[in-house]
Amino acid sequence: MDDHGATNLLDDRWDAQAAADLDEAGLLLYRSNLLGADKRITNYGGGNTSAKVSEQDPLTGAAVEVLWVKGSGGDVGTMKRDGFATLYMDKLQALKGLYRGPDHEDEMVGYLPHCTFNLNPRAASIDTPLHAYVPYPHVDHMHPDAAIAIAATANSRELTREVWGEEIGWLPWRRPGFELGLWLERFVAENPNAKGVLLASHGLFTWGATSRDCYRQTLESINKAIAWLAERTAGKAIFGGARLDQQPAADRRATAARLMPGHRGLVGVDEPKIGHFDDSAPVLEFVDAQDMETLAALGTSCPDHFLRTKIRPMVVEADASPDALRDRIGDYRAAYAGYYDRCRHPDSPALRDPNPVVYLVPGVGMITFAKDKPTARIAGEFYVNAINVMRGAATVDSYVGLSEQEAFNIEYWLLEEAKLRRMPKPRPLTGKVALVTGGGGGIGSAIAERLLQEGACVVLADIDAAALDAVGAALSGQHGKDQVRTVTMDVTDEAAVQRSFQDALVAYGGLDIVVSNAGISSAAPVEDTDLSLWQRNVDILATGYFLVAREAFRTMKAQGLGGSIVFIASKNALAASPNASAYCTAKAAEVHLARCLALEGAGSGIRVNVINPDAVLQGSKIWQGEWREQRAAAYNLAPDQLEEHYRQRSLLKRSVLPADVAEAAYFLASDMSAKSTGNIINVDAGNAQSFTR
Ligand SMILES: NC(=O)c1ccc[n+]([C@@H]2O[C@H](COP(=O)([O-])OP(=O)(O)OC[C@H]3O[C@@H](n4cnc5c(N)ncnc54)[C@H](O)[C@@H]3O)[C@@H](O)[C@H]2O)c1
Ligand SMILES: [Zn+2]
């Protein structure tokens, strides 16, 4: 971790062949994606790029100059062509005539839509004037850690000259907006030879005559900062040197799994939260260091950070008791409310969630909590950017965060508030975490899919690694990598069950829903049922459900947010069936276990309910093998006649599908069934023998 040496310079990845046939906008997109692909160049969603392009006016046919600039939202690394806003340059220039001065700069945002070229629906961002008024055809604005490290030092102006000479100028901190656009214009007029400018506490601007030149200039400027920092930090104690010895990775994960549900319970009362854990080398170097607490208290500096990470993280010791944790979080909230009260303006938006987002745990790593997994993960990534910045700044000079008032003005900016209000409403299970056993199977994967559709994060656990991989890949393809985790686990193995819960907790910070669904089928007359067959049924279906539910209880109680446990039993739990005594008896045990647990869990808000499916042939692996042949033989049918046979046997004369069972599981997992526990839902197309009583 300590060699930010010459080997870490950015490579020029421009491929002349790939760029050969691109038009100006295509080149801009190509350059943007190249830049955003490397987190050392800019953080996720941070920075923007632009090109001033000659286009044909759709009404007059005349050639007009159009600014293509990354629009509001999105990320330069992954954006597509439609991520750019397009605006008439002459209209943007005309806005200067309407400008009433810095106190009124926010109103200029309202004029930007009037400058739209070609009815482009992509909204122009607050940063648009920063590109429009720089009189060069191509402009990059990036948030490179190495440059921000210099921008966040007490002597950033002097250091900027030391690193870049006359090539890159320096401007003091100013919130992005119309006024900063005019500052940049003036800077270029006064420094015609400059290739860019560093904005204190913010980031880097670079420009060029072509996309190729601009890209090269951006890389060169960042590389100068990287090389200079490497030289200046070499041999120096980073963050005051290490304070703690490194713990083994397994211990760090175990501590995270123990701490995270407690955190989640405290910060997830009003709005459920998802956690993210990071114990990568840069994080450990920081959290284990002498100066960590002092630096963390100074807050982050880049304006992107405040909305994501809050102004500063919370530091919590690994051995903090639940009471100590509660007090720490209480203190953090009070301090945050104090910051809000000190800094608020008469028209500021109301106080937002005062809970910490970033938790630094010495010896263990960094935990982040946010409304969903991508937000929690990205908050962690942003804090890693902040660590990188502090690493450079504090080693070569002294690190300065942005003033509290400036941070507040960004965090509670009315324009940001408007953006937050435009965000789509969360889905019913957004912020919830589910673990589904037998998740590689027919019914389990359908349940996982249903919960994912409603916004849950899902951990699939199964003994069958190949099935798990296939289902995991399909579901993360559809619902995003952040939402899905897989873990191989045998429900009959006590240690394996505990390990898989630990994995789920480290992955998402807690658990709200556990669907116990792993299962097998077997058939034999009782006199031919050998002990091992009997035992196998009891182990997987009864003991396995006990082990999973016990771990669920432990986690849910530590978390203190209640929870829902759903058992996928069987019609045969209630209805006796010939030649399947081991299976039927074990399934009956599941149902009674669920009732006992419903009784025990109620005081903690843990609900336990059962679904009894019957004859779910489609998708089920149980029905692919010899079980199908045996059943067909028992009824004197060919295997492919079996589905029709079961359909006719049901009262409703319908086939039961995995999706039908999944719908019931979603109902029992969600707050729709908040008043139900100890229940059984039959999903069997009607069967009088299994009517509940
Ligand atoms: N399909 C039906 O007709 C039907 C009817 C009633 C009840 N059920 C029950 O529904 C549940 C799901 O069955 P399905 O039809 O989806 O079958 P399936 O075989 O497609 O899925 C079951 C999954 O459980 C996994 N599993 C088996 N033993 C395990 C163990 N020891 N540890 C962890 N995972 C294990 C399997 O690998 C498989 O992926 C089972 O409990 C089954 O008894 C199914
Ligand atoms: Zn910026």
pLDDT tens digits, residue range 6-33?
A: 458 999 999 999 999 999 999 999 999 9
Nearest CA to ligand 1 atom 28: 519
Nearest ligand (C-alpha, residue 148): 2
State the average pLDDT over residues 291-299.
93
The answer, yes or no, to whether residue 100 has pLDDT greater than 80, is yes
Instruction: Find tokens 């994960």 and name the residue.
Output: 253
Ligand 1 lined by 75 (C-beta under 6 Å): no
Output the pLDDT for position 627.
Answer: 82
- Cα–Cα distance, 117 to 58 (Å, whole number): 9
Ligand 1 lined by 683 (C-beta under 6 Å): no
Of 616, 497, 502, nearest to 568 by C-alpha is 616
State the average pLDDT over residues 656-681.
98
Q: What is the CA radius of gyration of the chain?
A: 30
Nearest CA to ligand 1 atom 30: 490
What is the SS3 assignment for 540?
Answer: helix
Ligand 1 pocket: which of 435, 436, 443, 539 to mutate (most atoms within 8 A of CB)? 443
Q: Which residues are catalytic?
A: 583
State the average pLDDT over residues 511-538.
96
249-421 is a CATH 3.40.225 domain: yes
Of 573, 519, 520, 521, nearest to 548 by C-alpha is 519
CATH H superfamily, domain 433-614+656-682: NAD(P)-binding Rossmann-like Domain (3.40.50.720)
State the average pLDDT over residues 422-444.
95
285 Rama class: left (phi>0) / alpha (psi -120 to 50) / beta: alpha
**Token pair of 91, please?**
């209209």
The alpha carbon of 621 and the centre of ligand 1 are apart by a number of angstroms equal to 7
The answer, yes or no, to whether residue 5 has pLDDT greater than 60, is no
The alpha carbon of 444 and the centre of ligand 2 are apart by a number of angstroms equal to 45
Ligand 1 pocket: which of 501, 521, 539 to mutate (most atoms within 8 A of CB)? 521
Of 520, 485, 513, nearest to 500 by C-alpha is 485
Long-range contacts of 249-255 (CB under 8 A, 24+ apart): 249/279, 252/279, 252/363, 252/364, 252/365, 253/277, 253/279, 253/502, 253/506, 254/502, 255/318, 255/361, 255/363, 255/364
Q: What are phi and psi of 297, to 5 degrees?
A: -70, -20
Strand runs labelled E in 212-364: 274-278, 314-315, 358-361
Output the pLDDT for position 624.
Answer: 86
pLDDT tens digits, residue range 160-212?
A: 999 999 999 999 999 999 999 999 999 999 999 999 999 999 999 999 999 99
CB 645 within 8 A of CB 635: yes
The alpha carbon of 396 and the centre of ligand 2 are apart by a number of angstroms equal to 23
Across all residues in the chain, what is the average pLDDT?
95
Nearest ligand (C-alpha, residue 655): 1
Output the pLDDT for position 359.
Answer: 97
Ligand 1 lined by 516 (C-beta under 6 Å): no
- Cα–Cα distance, 261 to 558 (Å, whole number): 6
The answer, yes or no, to whether residue 221 has pLDDT greater than 60, is yes
Establish whether domains 249-421 and 433-614+656-682 are of one fold. Answer: no
What is the SS3 assignment for 505?
Answer: helix
Atom of ligand 1 nearest to the CA of 521: 43
Output the pLDDT for position 635.
Answer: 86
Nearest ligand (C-alpha, residue 658): 1
Atom of ligand 1 nearest to the CA of 443: 16
State the average pLDDT over residues 660-677.
98
CB 431 within 8 A of CB 455: yes
Output the pLDDT for position 3.
Answer: 43
| Helices within 310-372 (DSSP H only) | 322-343
Atom of ligand 1 nearest to the CA of 613: 6
Nearest CA to ligand 1 atom 21: 441
Of 66, 72, 84, nearest to 30 by C-alpha is 84
The answer, yes or no, to whether residue 38 has pLDDT greater than 60, is yes
Output the pLDDT for position 7.
Answer: 55
**Token pair of 152, please?**
């966040």
Nearest CA to ligand 1 atom 26: 518
- Cα–Cα distance, 460 to 285 (Å, whole number): 33
* Four-way CATH pick for 6-233: 3.40.225.10, 2.40.128.720, 3.30.565.10, 3.20.20.70: 3.40.225.10
Q: Domain extents for the chain?
A: 6-233, 249-421, 433-614+656-682, 624-655
Distance of CA 537 to the CA centre of its chain: 39
Q: Which residues contact 103 (CB under 8 A, 6 or more apart)?
A: none
SS3 content of the chain, % helix, strand, coil (to 5): 50, 15, 35
Ligand 1 pocket: which of 536, 541, 621, 682 to mutate (most atoms within 8 A of CB)? 621
Output the pLDDT for position 192.
Answer: 97
CB 609 within 8 A of CB 597: no
The answer, yes or no, to whether residue 451 has pLDDT greater than 80, is yes
Q: What's the start-to-end Cα distance of the chain, in Å? A: 65
State the average pLDDT over residues 365-394.
96
Ion ligand 2 nearby residues (CB, 5 A): 203
The alpha carbon of 519 and the centre of ligand 1 are apart by a number of angstroms equal to 3
CA distances (Å), origin 307, targets 39, 371, 412, 509: 19, 13, 8, 21
Atom of ligand 1 nearest to the CA of 468: 39
